[in-house]
Each structure stands twice: as C-alpha cells, then as structure tokens.
Structure 1
Amino acid sequence: MKLAILGTGKIVDEVLPVLKEINGIELSAILSTPRSLEKAQKLAEIYGISQASSDYDSILANPDVDTIYVALPNHLHYDYAKKALQAGKHVICEKPFTLTLAEFEDLVAIAEQRQLFLLEAITNQYLGNFSYVKENLPKLGDIKIVECNYSQYSSRYDAFKRGEIAPAFDPEKGGGALRDLNIYNIHLVVGLFGKPEMVHYLANMERGVDTSGMLIMDYGHFKCVCIGAKDCSADIRSTIQGNKGSVTILGPTNTMPEVNLSLNGQSMQLVNQNSLNHRMHDEFVAFQNIISNREYNNQKAALEHSRAVMEVLDAAIKSL
C-alpha cells in the first residue's frame, strides 16, 4: 500500500511512527495547508516521505500513491475522499466517515463503481479487547442495560466559552461531542449489537453545538445510553449488564485498555488482550491486508458496520 496522508494535525503526529513500522505500507506523500507546509516537510524528512505538498492535485497525480488516508477535520472528509476516489485512489477515512448518511452513500457508490477500497479508521473494531468482549457476550445471558461514558474536559472548551471557535466546537465543521468522543461509544455498541430500533439524542447545546449529550438507543430487549462530554469529565468506562453477569470496559472506548468480566457467583476476571502496539497499529495492519489482498468481503463487512453507525448519527442529529 503506497499511502498519502492528508493533514499534519495531532493524529498524524501520532500515527506516522506507527505506519513507518508496518510491513507493506510505504509512506509516499503528505498534504498540508500552505501555512503548515514547513511542518509537512519536516515530517517528510523524519519519516522518509518522498513528497510533501500543499497541492492536493499533485498528490493525486503521483503514480507512487495508491491509497489516501484522510486525517483532516470532519467537514473535509467527504470532499477530499470523493476527489481521491474519482482519481482512482483507495481511501481510508478518519471517523466520523462523513457528516451525513447521504455523503457516505455517495462515496460507497463511487468506490463500488470504480472497484476501489473505502474504509473507516476506527480503532476499537480492531482491538483484541473488542474481540474478547464480543466473544464473551453470550456468558452475560440476556442483555438488559448498556452504558458508555466517554467524558473528557476539552482543552479548547475554555477558549470556546470566550468566543474562540475551533473546528472541534464549530457546528458548521462537524464539531461537537457526538461526532468526537461519543462516536467511539456508538462504534462499540453497534459493533457488538448492530443497529438499534430507535435513537434519540439529548444534548447540552452552546453556540449551536453539542458540548455534551446522552444518546439513547433502544434495542427492544435492552436499552443503551452513550454519554459523550467535552464540557465536563467523569470516570471513563462502559458497562454491559446481563442477567448472568456484566462486562466493564475500564477506560476510553477508543483504546479499551482493560476489560473486567464479572459473572454471577464468580470472582471478577480482569483481562487485557490488546496487543502491545499503539492503538492505531492493528487497524492499519488490517487495512493493509484488505487493500493489498483485495479482500472485498472484509471491506463489505466494514462498510456495513460504518453504514449502521452513520444511520445512528443521522437519526441522532435529526432528533435534536
């Protein structure tokens, strides 16, 4: 996989050393804004990236690029991913895939028409602890209650209150707690249980953006609440309760660092089946295999999961 990275933000700083160590991934290009070009050039020098540019067309024209990783602010995902697909490039897009379900479906249609791979970068679906939870769900009996809380006071919230609006708090740019922190909770729940029957979002709104909120998902036989907050904080954990026991995820749903399995009448079992690698390592190993080995069935399953999450997001926004 010959990869071009779009962006020079925090997530790019975090993922570059990870990508450098994965067999089969060649770092071919990095895109920045003109203002950040110097940083892109420094990253290119450090990680041996052959092209650093603020000209997207030149990267799309580069024959040494076959896959685009969209690591840009939320509102740019659709346009940049679409242009990459139209240029014949595979696309890996950061969460949330797009701002609307219609945008997502448009990207899928283009990818299918051109037989290109289209994947969403969402860490928890590829972690060992996610697989452990999914495998052990039957031990819990009939699921009754699911609660996820990813509440983390944002370093940008104080500036936001002063009127300095960063993209993470800009409703026009897909900002807000739902698409930032709560999206990991949604991916976890949908990955384990599929699409809910009903969705309703109760949000604390400031300046037109949800700074925190509770997403209610009704699965008929059990109820789920996903809490995401950027304006306050609490213990970050998630619990799945059944009539025969419970599973508690200790820590954020994007890393799932530890899992506690507690069955009725038995002692608790604390486990960690995540690899020792960085949280983004396993997903990019999977993407490399899917694209290089032309694993269309695995791509289809991943897209079906992403579609269900986008349907939840769409319903949540419409319920405000």
Structure 2
Amino acid sequence: MLRIATIGTSMITNEFIAAVKENPQTEVGAIYSRNADRGAAFATTNGLPNVPVYDDLDTLLADPTIDLVYIASPNNLHFDQTKAVLLAGKHVITEKPAFTNPDQFAVIARLLNARNHQYYFEAARHIHTPNFIKMQHALAGHTVTGALLSYAKYSSRYDQVLAGEEPNIFSPRFAGGALQDLGVYLVYAAIALFGKPLAAHYEPHMLTTGVDGGGVGTLTYPNFTVVLRPDKTVQSRVPSEIYLGKDTVWTDNIAELQQLRYYHGSGEQFDDLATTQPANGMSSELARFVDIIQQNDRAAFAELFQLSARVNEVLYALRQDAGLHFPVTVEAAADDE
C-alpha cells in the first residue's frame, strides 16, 4: 500500500484523490496547503476529515508514513517542490508541465541517478488511457504523412484577463499560458506517437499579461509536419487527426480521447477503435505509476522519463522560438490556479 500526500487544492487534485481512493494499492496519507484552513476544508470536501493536514512542507516531508507526494501547485513551484520531495527520499508525481526548462530537468535527472530506488513521474494522463494506446496500435506499420493536434478550451480565468487582471494561469511569473497549460497535451501526444521532432516553431497570440492565449505551432519531422493548435481564449470543437496518406486516424479530443476512428480513404466509412475509458481520467496513469513502483520496473520508468525529458525540451524550444520567457525565480503562489 502506497500512502500518498497531495500538494495543491485545485480541481485536478480532487480528481487525483478520487483516483487514489479507487485504487486498492493506494490511500491518501496527508494533505498539504500553505493555508491550514484551506487545507482542512479541502480534506473535508474530499471525505478525508481524519487525514493529517500540513501547512509546512518540511513537516510534511518529514512524515515517515508518506511514500509518495503528488504535486499540483502552480507551474513555477513544481521544480523546487519536486526537488525537495526527492531529497526527502520519497517518490513524486508532478503535474504537467513539470518543469519550465531543461536545466531544471537536468537537476532532477541527477538526483534520480543517485537514487535508483526512487521514482519521478510527470502526470500526462492522456497517454496512459486505453484509447491512446489503441491509437498507437492503429498507427503501427503505417507511414505518417502529417497531423493536426488541437486542444482549445475557453478558460474561465480569461474573463479576468479581459477585466485587466493577471490570474496565475495567464501570468509569466507562474509559468502560465496556453502552450504550457494545453499545448503540453499536444506535445506529449506528438512525441509519444512520432518521437522527437527535428525542429519546433510557435506563433503565439500574445495577451496583455505577457503570455500566450493561444497560437499555432509546428513540429517538423523528416517526412511530415505536425500542426499544434492550443488555445485558452476560444471554445473549439475541432478534432485531432493523424494522416496516413489516404487514410486518417481521428479523435474528438486528443486530451480526452472519448472517440477514436480509423477512416478509410475519402469516404465516410470508418472503423470505430474506441474502447471504454475509465470514468476518472487519472485512474490509468496512477495504476501504471503504482505498478512501476511496486514492480521496480526501471525499464518502464526510463522510457517514461525519456519521454518527459523530450517534452520538456520541445516545450522550451517552442517558447524560445516565440520569445516567451519566464522568470527564473518567483515568489510563492496560492495552492490553486
């Protein structure tokens, strides 16, 4: 049984806790929030009134009953908190995007190289779902000739931007913006399916806050191009498609993958490839992470770690290409978005 502590009190942590409760190999062992009252209310809301609530990170990390820490704080805090968890001798799951640049990733890599009994995972849930795996199988043996990966979802926090405010997810101080928040899904899918690209280019739609509200990216491969369309200022229903010459692999949403089809030629005939997805989108990734830890599967871990490293490199390259820069040091933020 793995006892898990959570950092962060936003909706995604609610979902993660629900996944922990569903998994017979895990249980919630502690809640962390910089605000003790918020943490206590969060624990009660999630049906965990008797779980310890910490408002000091060092005290949480000193708790010998905690095996693993899940980090869902604002993006700019991920690196320092992940480093602290590893130095405390615990496993860690960090929400995507885990780190803002390859230098941070290299530090985590060095820590893990010295601690081969510990595990770090980036929580890119969509690549662990049954339908993403079905998509990978559908592409096997085919020649990819291009792809359009789209994820555009209007953010309720964008209304605050329009009102002249700077919420965390639209702030460079907190490593925000559409590419970081939604584009990470697209980059993860592209690299998991096609590998690391030769080049990366991003044309952002800049907001007054100093980050991108959306944009168009391209990942260049030897014989095809992948177009990326992340956006947090519009509500789009454009699907994602992978082109195999005259055939097309289609999904309604590359981050959710509820529908998955293989279209034959130019007609409307298709094979329905979709299978049943877990009700909780985080269940599949948690199950895989727990299995890797319990089986001490270093090969599976190395594969996921390399994927995480490549995603970090490509996201950074896209931002550099677009002139999107985040401060190296920023003050602490609230636990939620």
TM-score strictly above 0.5: yes
Partner of residue 5, structure 1: 6
Instruction: Specify the code of the residue in structure 2 equivalent to 1:63.
Output: P
Report the alpha carbon displacement of residue 143 of structure 1 after superposing the two structures with TM.
1.6
268, 275, 278: which one aligns with 2:277: 275
Partner of residue 93, structure 1: 94
Partner of residue 298, structure 1: 300
1:8-157 aligned at under 5 Å gives the runs 8-34=9-35, 36-43=38-45, 46-47=47-48, 50-115=51-116, 116-138=118-140, 141-157=142-158
Verify: 1:317 aligned to 2:319, yes or no: yes
| Distance (whole Å) between structure 2 residues aligned to residue 274 and residue 104 of structure 1 | 35
Partner of residue 217, structure 2: 215
Partner of residue 243, structure 2: 241
Aligned length: 317
Once superposed, what is the RMSD of the aligned Cα atoms?
1.6
Instruction: Go from structure 1 to structure 2 and tell me whether the alpha carbon gap of 1:232 and 1:142 turns closer, same or farther (over 3 Å shift).
Output: same
Which structure 1 residue ranges, 4+ long, deviate > 6 Å from structure 2? none
Encode CA deviations 1:53-89: one digit per residue, 9 max, x unaligned: 1111111011110111111111110010000111111
| Distance (whole Å) between structure 2 residues aligned to residue 199 and residue 95 of structure 1 | 19
Moved more, 50-59 or 177-186: 50-59
Verify: 1:187 aligned to 2:182, yes or no: no
Report the alpha carbon displacement of residue 245 of structure 1 after superposing the two structures with TM.
0.8
Partner of residue 231, structure 2: 229
Report the alpha carbon displacement of residue 275 of structure 1 after superposing the two structures with TM.
3.0
| Distance (whole Å) between structure 2 residues aligned to residue 164 and residue 265 of structure 1 | 47
Classify the secondary structure of the residue corresponding to 2:73. coil
Report the alpha carbon displacement of residue 50 of structure 1 after superposing the two structures with TM.
2.6
Report the alpha carbon displacement of residue 49 of structure 1 after superposing the two structures with TM.
5.6
Report the alpha carbon displacement of residue 271 of structure 1 after superposing the two structures with TM.
2.8
Partner of residue 331, structure 2: none
What percentage of residue pairs aligned between the two structures are identical? Answer: 29
Report the alpha carbon displacement of residue 152 of structure 1 after superposing the two structures with TM.
1.1
Report the alpha carbon displacement of residue 254 of structure 1 after superposing the two structures with TM.
1.9
Preserved contact between residue 96 and residue 183 of structure 1 (Cα < 8 Å): yes
Partner of residue 327, structure 2: none
Classify the secondary structure of the residue corresponding to 1:4. strand
Q: Which runs of 5+ in 2 are unaligned?
A: 323-337
| Distance (whole Å) between structure 1 residues aligned to residue 86 and residue 318 of structure 2 | 28
Preserved contact between residue 27 and residue 48 of structure 1 (Cα < 8 Å): no
Report the alpha carbon displacement of residue 48 of structure 1 after superposing the two structures with TM.
6.0
| Distance (whole Å) between structure 2 residues aligned to residue 260 and residue 8 of structure 1 | 36
1:261-272 aligned at under 5 Å gives the runs 261-264=262-265, 267-272=269-274
TM-score (norm 2): 0.90
Encode CA deviations 1:285-314: one digit per residue, 9 max, x unaligned: 011111122111111000011111111111
Report the alpha carbon displacement of residue 9 of structure 1 after superposing the two structures with TM.
0.8
Instruction: Go from structure 1 to structure 2 and tell me whether the alpha carbon gap of 1:131 and 1:37 turns closer, same or farther (over 3 Å shift).
Output: closer
Classify the secondary structure of the residue corresponding to 1:148. strand
Encode CA deviations 1:199-232: one digit per residue, 9 max, x unaligned: 0010011121100011110002011111000112
Preserved contact between residue 40 and residue 53 of structure 1 (Cα < 8 Å): no
Q: Which runs of 5+ in 1 are unaligned?
A: none
TM-score (norm 1): 0.95
| Distance (whole Å) between structure 1 residues aligned to residue 135 and residue 39 of structure 2 | 43
| Distance (whole Å) between structure 2 residues aligned to residue 47 and residue 41 of structure 1 | 5
Preserved contact between residue 16 and residue 47 of structure 1 (Cα < 8 Å): no
| Distance (whole Å) between structure 2 residues aligned to residue 236 and residue 26 of structure 1 | 38
Classify the secondary structure of the residue corresponding to 1:47. coil
| Distance (whole Å) between structure 2 residues aligned to residue 58 and residue 236 of structure 1 | 46
| Distance (whole Å) between structure 2 residues aligned to residue 220 and residue 12 of structure 1 | 39
| Distance (whole Å) between structure 2 residues aligned to residue 121 and residue 11 of structure 1 | 11
| Distance (whole Å) between structure 2 residues aligned to residue 298 and residue 200 of structure 1 | 30
